[in-house]
Amino acid sequence: MKTRIPSGMPDPRLSPRRKFLTDLAALSGGVAATGALPAWAQTKSTKTGTVRVWGEPGPYAGVAVDAMNEWAKKFAPGIAFKLETLSWDSVYVKLMTDLAARNPAHCISVESPIAYQLMADLLLEPLDDVVQKVGRNRLVDGVKWEYWGAWKGKQYVLPAHHQPHLLVVRMDVVNELGLGNPDNWNWDDLRNAARTISEKRKDMAGISLALGRNLCTDYHFAALLHSAGGRMFDVANKYQVVFDSPETVEALEYVKSLQPYMPKGAVSYSFLEVVDSIVTGRAGISFYWGRPYGRAAEENPAVFANLQSFNHARHPKTGRRSNWNDFQGWCIPRPNNQYVEEVKAALVYYQTSPEWLVRYCHSLMPNVSPVYKDVLSAPRLQEHPFFKTKRETIMNYYVNSLPNSSSTGNELLKGVNPLAGVVHGRSILAQTVQKVVVDNWKAPDAAKWGARELEQVRKDNLRLLQIA
Amino acid sequence: MSPSTDWRVADNRIGILFIVPFVVAAALVFMVYPVLESVRLAFYQHNPLNPDASVFVGLENFRTIFDDPLFWQSFRQAAIWTGCSIVLQTVIGVLLALLLHLPLRGISVFRGLLLFPYIVPTVVIALILQWMLNPDIGVVNWSLRGAGLIDESIYWLATPNMAMLSTIMLNVWKYTPFVTICVLARLQTIPLELYDAAKVDGAGPLRRFLDITLPQLAEVLVVVVIFRTIWTFNKFEEIYLLTKGGPGTSTFNLAIYSFEQSVASLKMGVGAATGVVMMLLLFAGSLVYMRVFRFASEEAE
């Protein structure tokens, strides 16, 4: 039964988190002192109009745009930054159609593989000058500027955050069933845990992964592929396709072996459905970024209290625990962009303000990890209430995940690959997975099919790679 | 011819003169140019991100699609989706029209409500249906479980066959009213004397339906079925919004295939070639329609 809160009284269930965010919002006027800004960020502009900014769903892009508008208020009163939020599964379509129409937003934040594709296609402005102003030595340990997007010696993407998916576990269930410490699991232990939960808890799927034809499936599968030591392309060898491999087959067979312990609807799951299954308590284990914590805290405190994230289960032979880490940043499309200098100045303004950057991280804890040392060590960052109960999980997302970082655009951190954006546009990894889990193909045949598709992508896009 | 008639004719001509430029301009901009551009693109390799690097490739794009098993799978699925949708729409549409033709009190309210599915935007319907068909929290499974008809959730959009069935259901729900309205309009013009005469001759309801109603409806049904077939075969938004062509590629039709080639694979030429093939199919359908319509007119004369 719901309890009525007398009017005027603070709602105790509303969470220190919401109250904290409310308090934080109150800080919004002038968090960055103009005097402390680099001269370059104080560039004045007399231009007028709306500067369109693309960001993924979530409050953090809104915080960044608030910061940019604070800059505009001070230095370019004729312009306003306006956020256009694009859902992940439609971002590629929107981006490509707008670019094809030569009408992209003036500043965008997209998934890193897509940014890499745009960068190699020379559709982005180089940002080395901005990096210089922001501070080249500020990055947290374990990352490099190129992870966000550097190509042929130029930096095209400015860091916004890094964002790994990890193993999200319902610890109450795991403890109740005596499944051990998830931090010590290997693939076999993970499968055993998923099976046990499925068998013992009739109200709950053992594990919830995305298996639909979408980006989320691409990212979930990529982590398993990389843990097994497999890759799509060999960057060091002219981007040759290396997907038709025993490692791919092993990863596909592993997904197939987990399928009986997933919700039946998983074959159409994307990001939202996986979050739903975690937050509503319908899954014992999942792979996910930090997003479910915020929702669970507000919608299902019992689930929130028992959620914990770990680095992924180790591959039994390689010992790898690869995650899919989105080194997501800000980039400036070149076509028809009359606001390049204004966007650069606004980015410097916001990126040199630890207050705004802390606020950015706080807006959806622990989904967007800080990328600058001064932000990570800022006492204010740790004032978020989640730090009281979820410190270990937060630090797993923020710091401890970094040695296991990988992504489709930078497989096993062996080099940036602009072909990954095209691969995601066509959902080739997800389609390969679906050949196995929906169409019941044998894993080796699916791997061969995927390799053929990737070969076609390589062939069609040799111009991006500038190789013969 | 009186002077006043001359003035009226002149007015009509002036009116037409005013309208013609807009009609012609609209036709050129919104119909002729896109069609011609699409046909042109079908012969080019064209990446929308590098429009200046287009290359003429002759029939290569057509070869690509005809060699692609996914094209043929999409074609097959489009045929299944269209065939099932049209049969169900026609049968349900005629039955509903017969019901709404009954002289009952308040029937006009139901006739008005009939338009509802037809006027609601497809995107709204698709999103609502996604929630309704959600296997865990959807009202459809909840109702079926409540009625004791199922024990386990049905995965309406997550298994290939059920996803196809769901897209067909959406199409049938949305477009059956079109069939019903057309048939109802025709029913209201059938002379009642025919039924009276048949009754006098001892014909029962079924006999009257088969020997009077159905033949009278034949002409309108042919037109409706041909139109609906053409429109359904080329439908994009219902399938895309509901299943995005999945799971796997189990609900792909040619429109989705064309979109995937153009936008996801950035192969505008291949997408355009698919569009040209669809256009030819549409053209063939139109020829059938015109021939049937002419036969029907000749018979009437």
**Per-residue model confidence as pLDDT tens digits over B152-196:** 888 888 888 999 999 999 999 999 999 999 999 999 999 988 888
Q: How far is the alpha carbon of B46 from chain A, nearest alpha carbon, in Å?
A: 11
Question: Which residues of chain B neighbour A268 with C-beta distances below 8 Å?
Answer: 155, 157-158, 163, 243, 246-247
Buried residues in A188-203 as b, exposed as e (16+ CB within 10 A): ebbbbbbbbbbeebee
B219 alpha-carbon distance from chain centroid: 18
Q: Which of A394, A421, A441 is the last residue of a domain?
A: A394
In this structure, is residue B148 part of a structural domain?
A: yes
Partner-chain residue, chosen from B243, B250, B265, that has the shortest CB–CB distance to A426: B265
Q: Say if A123 is an interface residue toward chain B (CB within 8 Å).
A: yes
Question: Which residues of chain A neighbour B135 with C-beta distances below 8 Å?
Answer: 263-265
- Within this chain, do residues A238 and A383 fall inside the same structural domain, yes or no? no
Please list the residues that pair with A84 across neighbouring strands.
Answer: A54
In this structure, is residue A399 part of a structural domain?
A: no
- Within this chain, do residues A79 and A157 fall inside the same structural domain, yes or no? yes
- Looking at the predicted structure, is the pLDDT value of residue B70 above 50? yes
Q: Which residues of chain A have pLDDT under 70?
A: 1-42, 467-468
Instruction: For residue A144, give its domain range.
Output: 25-162+326-394
pLDDT for res B137: 80
| B249/A431 touch (CB, cutoff 8 Å), yes or no | yes
| B265/A282 touch (CB, cutoff 8 Å), yes or no | no
Q: Into how many domains does chain A fold?
A: 2
- Within this chain, do residues A206 and A289 fall inside the same structural domain, yes or no? yes
pLDDT for res B295: 62
pLDDT, one tens digit per residue, over B286-301 is: 787 777 766 666 665 5
pLDDT for res A183: 98
Contact A208, A277 (CB under 8 A): yes
Sheet of strand A307-310: strand arrangement: A205-208, A283-288, A166-170, A307-310
- Return the structure tokens found at A27: 């800080």
pLDDT for res B89: 96
In this structure, is residue A20 part of a structural domain?
A: no
Question: Which residues of chain A neighbour B264 with C-beta distances below 8 Å?
Answer: 92-93, 425-427
Q: Which of A345, A362, A394 is the last residue of a domain?
A: A394
pLDDT, one tens digit per residue, over B125-150 is: 999 998 899 887 889 999 999 999 99
- Looking at the predicted structure, is the pLDDT value of residue B24 above 70? yes
Q: How far is the alpha carbon of A65 from chain B, nearest alpha carbon, in Å?
A: 27
- Within this chain, do residues A211 and A334 fall inside the same structural domain, yes or no? no
Q: CA A145, CA A139: separation in Å to the nearest integer?
A: 8
Q: Say if A93 is an interface residue toward chain B (CB within 8 Å).
A: yes
Please list the residues that pair with B45 across neighbouring strands.
Answer: B55
- Within this chain, do residues A136 and A201 fall inside the same structural domain, yes or no? no
- Within this chain, do residues A290 and A419 fall inside the same structural domain, yes or no? yes
Partner-chain residue, chosen from B159, B247, B264, that has the shortest CB–CB distance to A425: B264
- Within this chain, do residues A261 and A192 fall inside the same structural domain, yes or no? yes
Q: CA A226, CA A5: separation in Å to the nearest integer?
A: 50
- Looking at the predicted structure, is the pLDDT value of residue B10 above 80? no
Mean pLDDT of chain B: 88
Q: Say if A300 is an interface residue toward chain B (CB within 8 Å).
A: no
In this structure, is residue B19 part of a structural domain?
A: no
In this structure, is residue A14 part of a structural domain?
A: no
pLDDT for res A9: 39
Residue A202, C-beta contacts closer than 8 angstroms, at least 6 positions apart: none
pLDDT for res B60: 95
* B292: CATH: 1.10.3720.10
Q: Into how many domains does chain B fold?
A: 1
- Within this chain, do residues A202 and A289 fall inside the same structural domain, yes or no? yes
pLDDT for res A165: 97
- Return the structure tokens found at A152: 């042929």
Q: Say if A267 is an interface residue toward chain B (CB within 8 Å).
A: yes
- Within this chain, do residues A258 and A279 fall inside the same structural domain, yes or no? yes
Question: Which residues of chain B neighbour A431 with C-beta distances below 8 Å?
Answer: 248-249
Question: Which residues of chain B neighbour A265 with C-beta distances below 8 Å?
Answer: 134-136, 153, 155, 157-158
pLDDT for res A43: 72
Contact A258, A194 (CB under 8 A): yes
* CB neighbourhood size of A114 (10 A): 24
CA atoms lying within 13 Å on the CB side of residue A266 = 28
Average pLDDT on B118-124 reads: 88
- The values of phi and psi at residue A355, to 5°, are -60, -50
- Within this chain, do residues A188 and A291 fall inside the same structural domain, yes or no? yes
In this structure, is residue A15 part of a structural domain?
A: no
Residue of B nearest to A437 (CA): B248
* CB neighbourhood size of A90 (10 A): 10
Instruction: For residue B130, give its domain range.
Output: 50-300
Is residue B56 within a helix (H) or strand (E), and if so which, with residue range?
A: strand B55-56
Average pLDDT on B26-55 reads: 88
In this structure, is residue B238 part of a structural domain?
A: yes
Question: Which residues of chain B neighbour A212 with C-beta distances below 8 Å?
Answer: 246-247
- Looking at the predicted structure, is the pLDDT value of residue B1 above 80? no
* A74: CATH: 3.40.190.10
Q: How far is the alpha carbon of B247 from chain A, nearest alpha carbon, in Å?
A: 6
Q: Tell me the count of A-B CB pairs closer than 8 A.
A: 81
Q: Which of A363, A394, A425 is the last residue of a domain?
A: A394
pLDDT, one tens digit per residue, over B229-257 is: 988 998 999 999 998 888 878 899 999 99
Question: Which residues of chain A neighbour B245 with C-beta distances below 8 Å?
Answer: 213
Residue of A nearest to B51 (CA): A100
| B248/A439 touch (CB, cutoff 8 Å), yes or no | yes
- Within this chain, do residues A349 and A420 fall inside the same structural domain, yes or no? no
Q: Which of residues 234-253 of B touch A (CB under 8 A)?
A: 243-250
The reported pTM is: 0.82
